[in-house]
Amino acid sequence: MKTRNTLLKSIGLLLITGAIAWAGPGQKGHSHSHHGETEYGEPGDKSKPSRTIVVQMQESGTKMIFIPDVFTIRKGEQIKFVLRNVGAIEHEFVLGTKDEIEAHAEQMRKNPDMEHDDPQSKRLKAKENGEIYWKFTKAGEFEFACLIPGHREQGMHGKIFVK
Ligand SMILES: [Cu+2]
């Protein structure tokens, strides 16, 4: 009986896989989207020219801040973010839309040890430096923040205007 169930499951899976494959050609218009593309752009390419923006992360009295905390970027521009954690504790830099950052922050509150290892974020220990290459391909208003619980609430967030 067990084998029969497994066999039925396999057939089911095959049917599902087949259905997905079959649906493929219908979405022709979307098949050229770049890997890693988001509403606010796509991972940058180190070998291509980029403008460098240095961002400092630190504690400041009762606050935690990014310096600077507002950037204006031309649509299509690639940015090399040079991140410097000059603080005494760990911080991170996460790019996203406002909604995405908020959803992500909620996840972090539930699972504070969650580490991001994707092209739009970087976690840095005290006194550590890092970099992110990002190409802003779409106009809009975006955010960056440190999502270690409590940090964003204490001021660790900023705005990115892409025009
Ligand atoms: Cu932080």
Distance 148 CA to ligand 1 centre (A): 6
| pLDDT of 16 strictly over 50 | no
Burial classification of residue 144, based on how many CB atoms lie within 10 Å of its CB (0-12 exposed, 13-18 middle, 19 or more buried):
buried
Q: According to the model, what pLDDT value does residue 111 have?
A: 86
Whether residue 114 is contained in a domain is answered as yes
Distance 147 CA to ligand 1 centre (A): 7
Whether residue 123 is contained in a domain is answered as yes
Whether residue 89 is contained in a domain is answered as yes
Distance 156 CA to ligand 1 centre (A): 6
Whether residue 88 is contained in a domain is answered as yes
Number of domains forming the structure of the chain: 1
Q: What are the E-state strand segments in 22-126?
A: 42-43, 51-60, 63-67, 70-73, 78-85, 91-96, 121-124
Chain segment 111-145, per-residue pLDDT in tens: 877 776 689 999 999 999 999 999 999 999 999 99
Distance 64 CA to ligand 1 centre (A): 7
Return the CATH number at 71.
2.60.40.420
Q: According to the model, what pLDDT value does residue 19 have?
A: 42
Whether residue 102 is contained in a domain is answered as yes
Distance 26 CA to ligand 1 centre (A): 44
- pTM given for the model: 0.77
Residue range 1-22: mean pLDDT, rounded: 45
Distance 39 CA to ligand 1 centre (A): 24
Whether residue 26 is contained in a domain is answered as no
Distance 146 CA to ligand 1 centre (A): 5
Whether residue 10 is contained in a domain is answered as no
Task: Say how many CA atoms lie within 13 Å of 53 toward its Cβ.
Answer: 19
Give residue 35's pLDDT band: very low, low, confident or very high (50, 70, 90).
Answer: low
Domain that holds residue 113: 42-162
Distance 15 CA to ligand 1 centre (A): 47
